[in-house]
Amino acid sequence: MVRMDESLAAWLDAHADSLDADTLHADALPARLARAGLFTAAVPEGEGGDGRALSAAVDVVAGLAEHSLGAAFVYWAQRAVIACLLASPNRDLVRRLVPDLVHGRLAGAPGLSNAMKFLGGLDRLRITGTAAPDGMRLNGTVAWATNLSRQGFLAAIAVGGEHGDNPAVFALPHDARGVMREPDLDLLALRGTNTAALRLDEVVLDASWQIHPQARVFLPSIRPVFVGLQCGLGLGLARASLRAARAALDLLTLRLRMVDIAAAAVALELQALGGRALLRAESGGYARRAREAAFLAVVTPTVAHLKGDLARLA
Ligand SMILES: Cc1cc2nc3c(=O)[nH]c(=O)nc-3n(C[C@H](O)[C@H](O)[C@H](O)COP(=O)(O)OP(=O)(O)OC[C@H]3O[C@@H](n4cnc5c(N)ncnc54)[C@H](O)[C@@H]3O)c2cc1C
């Protein structure tokens, strides 16, 4: 498990509700993640990373998800685009883009779920490309993409022929003519993740933007990285929930101990007083305390109720 940078952890805890409910900190978030050096995790040293195994990046996702799933998902989005580029045979493109992505100077937005669904036979490709003298002419939509920073982004997209044939994977720069970022989707959660749709209207990209010529080869090869990193999302969320449940469990245990200690103290008082404890005039308040201790055991949640809850939680 990686140790989360303390100032980042504090920032996430302070802003987790906002990252879930509004867009106030959407653009600050990637910068905070980059400042903590997190995008270098599991990137080869030759590409500016820390050279560790992919599990290090899964740990980062899980660590973030313990504080905010929105933050973890934005990290996933950036890291997924970095993974696409690292697997690209287009070395010029890698050299041109990876340093900015790894240092968080450029936001990466993976717009590939449509293509993943297409390869699984669940959808048709939503972006078509036709050959043009100056490259490929793209039209269509990306229904969902996260980390579409308003300060600029690079989206990874799949582009098919007219009938979805021979799809290829491209890097789409935000400032290419004809790229339109829609307003943020009106989400119920994770609203601070810069998640929106893209529209492509006669966008021309030349071959220098091609990540891979064959999506059918490339996407299955990248899928284990996407899915592996996603495992961190649930791991982190589960850890946070278990920690909270454990804390509540401790509290229930304390509450039970409180009843036990009070009852034991009253029993000790009885032993110390002996027969006097039963004489009205001489019990010195013992009788009242014995009745009060009885109340502690039955006030809701009663001892029986607490023991039932603890048995269920255990
Ligand atoms: C907050 C958020 C952020 C997101 N960020 C990104 C992102 O960065 N990049 C990205 O690419 N996507 C992103 N997505 C999209 C996400 O990855 C899924 O693709 C999307 O949520 C699936 O919904 P849909 O409306 O496309 O599903 P639909 O295609 O409408 O399908 C609905 C359900 O039916 C199932 N289904 C569909 N067809 C079939 C079939 N033929 N047989 C059996 N089951 C079927 C689907 O698996 C799904 O469970 C994001 C979504 C959300 C909510």
- Residue in 172, 300, 314, 301 with CA at minimum distance from that of residue 249: 314
Helix/strand number for the chain, H first, E second: 9, 8
Any atom of ligand 1 within 6 Å of the Cβ of 110? yes
* Cα 144 to middle of ligand 1, angstroms: 9
CATH architecture of 6-236: Beta Barrel (2.40)
Contacts for 291-295 with beta carbons within 8 Å, 24 or more apart?
Answer: 293/259, 293/262, 293/263, 293/265, 293/266
* Cα 177 to middle of ligand 1, angstroms: 28
Instruction: Among 102-111, 117-126, 142-151, name the one with the lowest average pLDDT.
Output: 117-126
Q: What is the mean pLDDT of residues 132-146?
A: 95
**Inter-residue contact 35 to 104 (CB < 8 Å):** yes
Q: What's the pLDDT tens digit per position in 160-198?
A: 987 778 899 999 999 999 999 999 999 999 999 999 999
Q: What's the pLDDT tens digit per position in 110-133?
A: 999 999 999 999 999 999 999 999
Does position 94 have pLDDT exceeding 60, yes or no? yes
Q: What's the pLDDT tens digit per position in 78-90?
A: 999 999 999 999 9
Strand 196-205 to 135-145 pairing: antiparallel
Q: What's the pLDDT tens digit per position in 199-257?
A: 999 999 999 999 999 999 999 999 999 999 999 999 999 999 988 888 888 988 889 99
Domains in the chain: boundaries: 6-236, 241-313
- Residue in 213, 159, 153, 218 with CA at minimum distance from that of residue 182: 153
Strand 107-110 to 153-159 pairing: parallel
**Inter-residue contact 250 to 119 (CB < 8 Å):** no
Share of the chain above pLDDT 90, in %: 85
* Cα 110 to middle of ligand 1, angstroms: 13
Beta bridge pairs of residue 84 = none
Does position 2 have pLDDT exceeding 70, yes or no? no
Any atom of ligand 1 within 6 Å of the Cβ of 145? yes
Does position 281 have pLDDT exceeding 90, yes or no? no
Does position 306 have pLDDT exceeding 60, yes or no? yes
* Cα 145 to middle of ligand 1, angstroms: 11
Does position 1 have pLDDT exceeding 60, yes or no? no
pLDDT at 252: 87
Tell whether pTM > 0.85: yes
Residue with tokens 């109720």: 305
DSSP state of 160: B
- Residue in 150, 68, 48 with CA at minimum distance from that of residue 109: 150
Any atom of ligand 1 within 6 Å of the Cβ of 70? no
Cα–Cα dist 12/18, whole Å: 10
Mean pLDDT of the chain: 94
275 or 144: which leads in pLDDT: 144
- Residue in 234, 165, 175 with CA at minimum distance from that of residue 203: 175
Any atom of ligand 1 within 6 Å of the Cβ of 144? yes
